[in-house]
Amino acid sequence: MPNTETLREIVVALAGNPNAGKTTVFNALTGARAHVGNYPGVTVERGEAAFEHDGIRMRVVDLPGSYSLNAMSDDERVARDFILREKPGVVVGVVDGSNLERNLYLFVQLMELRVPLVLAFNKTDIARRRGLLPDLDRLSTLLGVPIVPMVACADKGVMELKNAVTAAANRPPRPSDVRYGEDIERELDALTSPATPVQLPGIQVPPRWIALKLIENDEAIRSLAAAAAGGAKVLAAADAARARLRRHTGQEPELAVADRRYGFISGACQECMPGTAETRHLASDRVDDILTSDAVGLPIFFVVMYLLFKLTFSFAEPAAELIGSAFDTLSAAVAGTPALPAWLRSLLAEGVLSGVGGVLRFAPNMALLFFFIAFLEETGYMARGAFLMDRFMHRIGLHGRSFVPMVIGFGCTVPAVMATRSLRNRTTRMTTIMVLPLISCGARFPIYSLLIAALFPAGARAAILMTLYLIGIALAAAASLVLRKTVFAGDTEPFVMELPPYRAPPLRALFSHTLERLKLFARKAATVILGASVILWGLTTFPRPAPPRVEGLSPAEARRVAVEGSAAATIGRWMAPAMRHIGFDWQASTALVGAFAAKEIFVAQLGIINAVDTGEESLAMKLRSRYTPLQGFCMMIFSLISLPCVATFAVTRTETGTWRWAIAQAVGLTLLAYAVTFVVYQTGLFLGFGAGGRPFAA
């Protein structure tokens, strides 16, 4: 029995398959608000939080989702290395109670590792409704592991799990009952005999587990064993054992081991599961016969995405208008406050409020977009989108798993780039990283919302918005194909992706997901966008014109003279000769300068520049009087394709390990943006779509 002094802090590791609800259990235990997602790779690095129970501090570590301890991906390596090297006091295995046999494979391996283990059977409500809930008491006896039934999204079973963790930390784990048949057991005995001592430097694990890993030809364990004393002898014995097993079983030893594990799991489930095999054909399988079919699956998927964009515009527009009006009123009040110095009134009204307010007015649109994407993820439908895209992805040298970071990229490119860690093949991962900025992230949404609402009729807005998203996806596909044929040539790994069962998403998870992304957006508005808005205000205000130039002019005319002689105008005019061929005047060109910090700043800068142009007109009316729909469309295309924001630039450098790829990405995308926008704009002019546009300022 461990001394109670050592239990004042227990390290509790949460392990489990992707989609088992591991992060929901983490939230329920600790009260934290970790991201809940349906895809492998969402939790790429471990998260930590702590709570106290019965006078004991429990530090909970949320490990990345893993299917096994064979560590075939970065996610699985992080999880296994933590368990092996940091020796948690208890491992809580989160099992999806509605997908029992698949989930138990990881926990059979944890039993072999002889770590203190508790199984948290999550989603037992779904399993019970489907008649798939096993006799948990019977299963616990068979496995020799305590099992706690849970519905984590409803906080059911949380206290019972805390009690079980405390109890598990005070008793030694039971040896695994898994047996691998006469041939494999004979080789395991030989590898763990005193004549062949099996050990790993710096890691205390059962010799039988190491022997199993060597028979499975686990490269990481082989490397560690080679570094140990007598490692060469151990590896030679393992290779000889593998050769004998190959001859005796007629299959690769790792497959024979996996077959025995699944046989153990199947036998345990047969003892405990209600019903027959026919009950396993669930309603979700029958729905998938339609939603993942070649004939109607993709059309349905695109209709769903169109409705997402349509609802985002329709429902959010009144709230967006209300926020915009509030900022306009506040800006006018500040501008008309005589107690403030003129320069401070200008900074607050034309810099801070026009800039930050111009972005925050689109918070309702972004909230709905994030909410609907979270809804599709939580229901399990977004995983079907990845499955449907698999065949198409293979044609461009990727696979369906690359679709997961792309879906995340609709929210933000930074976590999308980080999510590529779940891609095992380096060439696939590098290709995905390089094309991810072409996926329209949430930061571009304010640009689209402003220009579409200002320049296009209401009936066409959803179609224009979806067209922009499709253009980004099409360009990402084309770029992937080119990169895989040239720079990142190589084989594409096979794609295996779980289709989680459909479920009604808990509202708490949807709102938590939405609020998390909105908080990031608000934080950016209060820091990066605010700072860039103030800088641009300075660029549009200084150098001030000489007094004779503004004498006798109205305030609006004086402001016009001031901005046309400012540093921002100088930069915009320097860019104008090249940018006029893609539909930009010097004002729009100037607005691009700060967009490298954050894409949303393009909107903020348009607001600042135009706030000193035509009196009290709203920004949308000013844009409507200045630009044609063709010009607005070209601005959106250029913003979609051109160099990524500085945060994406930095994370690309981190994930690729070199500045070379980050710079190549930024330069390549900017050149591509100019080329595509040039073709679109010149073609539009040729077809007569640019008629009625205001002439460019020199």
Q: Give the integer Cα–Cα distance in Å for 151 and 7.
A: 27
Q: How far apart are the first and last CA of the chain?
A: 84
Strands (E), 518-623: none
Q: Using an 8 Å Cβ cutoff, are 373 and 402 in contact?
A: no
Of the pLDDT bands very low, low, confident and very high (cuts 50, 70, 90), residue 482 is: very high
Q: Give the integer Cα–Cα distance in Å for 685 and 664.
A: 31
- Range from 56-65, 152-161, 230-239, 677-686 that averages highest in pLDDT: 677-686
Q: Give the integer Cα–Cα distance in Å for 387 and 384.
A: 5
Q: What is the pLDDT of residue 489?
A: 80
Token look-up 């991906």 returns 73
Q: Determine how many CB atoms are found less than 10 A away from the CB of residue 131.
A: 12
More confident residue, 571 or 698: 571
DSSP codes of every residue in 161-184: HHHHHHHHTTSPPPPP----HHHH
Task: Write out pLDDT tens, residues 654-668.
Answer: 788 888 999 999 999
Token look-up 């401070």 returns 344
Strands (E), 325-469: none
Residue type, 522: A
pLDDT over 60 (residue 232): yes
Q: Give the integer Cα–Cα distance in Å for 503 and 562.
A: 59
Q: Using an 8 Å Cβ cutoff, are 143 and 269 in contact?
A: no
Task: Write out pLDDT tens, residues 306-331.
Answer: 787 778 767 887 887 888 788 878 88
pLDDT over 80 (residue 11): yes
Cis omega (within 30 of 0) for bond into 318? no
Least confident of 21-25, 147-151, 494-498: 494-498
Q: What is the pLDDT of residue 670?
A: 94
Q: Give the integer Cα–Cα distance in Å for 107 and 22.
A: 14
Which residues sit opposite 415 in a β-bridge?
Answer: none
Q: What is the pLDDT of residue 673?
A: 96
- Range from 150-164, 178-192, 397-411, 593-607 that averages highest in pLDDT: 150-164
Q: Give the integer Cα–Cα distance in Å for 188 and 448.
A: 62
Q: What is the pLDDT of residue 549?
A: 58
Using DSSP's 3-state secondary structure scheme, residue 202 falls into: coil
Residue % of the chain over a pLDDT of 70: 81
Q: Give the integer Cα–Cα distance in Å for 595 and 576.
A: 17
Residues 447-458: what's their mean pLDDT?
Answer: 90
Task: Write out pLDDT tens, residues 402-423.
Answer: 776 787 777 778 767 876 866 7
Q: Using an 8 Å Cβ cutoff, are 57 and 10 in contact?
A: yes
Residues 2-14: what's their mean pLDDT?
Answer: 68
Q: What is the pLDDT of residue 1?
A: 42
* Consecutive H or E run containing 122: strand 117-122
Least confident of 32-41, 304-313, 420-429, 475-484: 32-41
Residue type, 140: S
The helix-helix angle for 445-455 and 363-379 (nearest 10°) equals 120
Q: What is the pLDDT of residue 285?
A: 63
- Range from 3-12, 363-372, 607-616, 671-680 that averages highest in pLDDT: 671-680
Token look-up 């010799």 returns 207
More confident residue, 627 or 650: 627
Of the pLDDT bands very low, low, confident and very high (cuts 50, 70, 90), residue 597 is: low
Task: Write out pLDDT tens, residues 317-375.
Answer: 788 788 878 887 888 888 788 888 878 887 887 778 876 776 677 788 778 877 887 78
Q: Give the integer Cα–Cα distance in Å for 584 and 567.
A: 18
pLDDT over 70 (residue 685): yes
pLDDT over 80 (residue 399): no
- Two tokens, residue 433: 């990283």
- Two tokens, residue 643: 């160099």
Q: Give the integer Cα–Cα distance in Å for 280 and 263.
A: 18
More confident residue, 553 or 166: 166
Of the pLDDT bands very low, low, confident and very high (cuts 50, 70, 90), residue 491 is: low
pLDDT over 70 (residue 32): no
How far, in Å, are 111, 323, 514, 527 from residue 520 at the CA level?
40, 19, 10, 11
Q: What DSSP state is assigned to residue 551?
A: T
Task: Write out pLDDT tens, residues 71-114.
Answer: 767 777 888 888 888 889 999 999 887 677 778 888 888 888 88
Residues 595-604: what's their mean pLDDT?
Answer: 73
Q: Give the integer Cα–Cα distance in Å for 216 and 253.
A: 6
Residues 169-181: what's their mean pLDDT?
Answer: 77
Q: Give the integer Cα–Cα distance in Å for 447 and 439.
A: 14
Residues 178-189: what's their mean pLDDT?
Answer: 80
DSSP codes of every residue in 432-470: HHHHGGGS--GGGHHHHHHHHHHHS-GGGHHHHHHHHHH
DSSP codes of every residue in 325-380: HHHHHHHHHHHT-TTS-HHHHHIIIIIIIHHHHHHHTTHHHHHHHHHHHHHHHHHT
Residues 616-627: what's their mean pLDDT?
Answer: 78
Q: What is the pLDDT of residue 629?
A: 94
Q: What is the pLDDT of residue 42?
A: 40
Q: Give the integer Cα–Cα distance in Å for 119 and 16.
A: 10
Radius of gyration, CA atoms only, the chain: 30
Residue % of the chain over a pLDDT of 90: 15
Of the pLDDT bands very low, low, confident and very high (cuts 50, 70, 90), residue 195 is: low
- Two tokens, residue 674: 């100019």
Using DSSP's 3-state secondary structure scheme, residue 307 falls into: helix
What mean pLDDT value characterizes the chain?
79
SS3 track for 11-75: EEEEEECCCCCHHHHHHHHHCCCCCCCCCCCCCCCCEEEEEEECCEEEEEEECCCCCCCCCCCHH
Residues 549-574: what's their mean pLDDT?
Answer: 69
pLDDT over 90 (residue 180): no
Q: Using an 8 Å Cβ cutoff, are 586 and 697 in contact?
A: yes
Of the pLDDT bands very low, low, confident and very high (cuts 50, 70, 90), residue 551 is: low
Predicted TM-score of the model (pTM): 0.57
Q: How does strand 47-53 pair with strand 90-96?
A: unpaired
Which domains, and CATH codes, for the chain? 4-168 (3.40.50.300), 181-281 (1.10.287.1770), 299-494+509-514 (no CATH), 525-686 (no CATH)
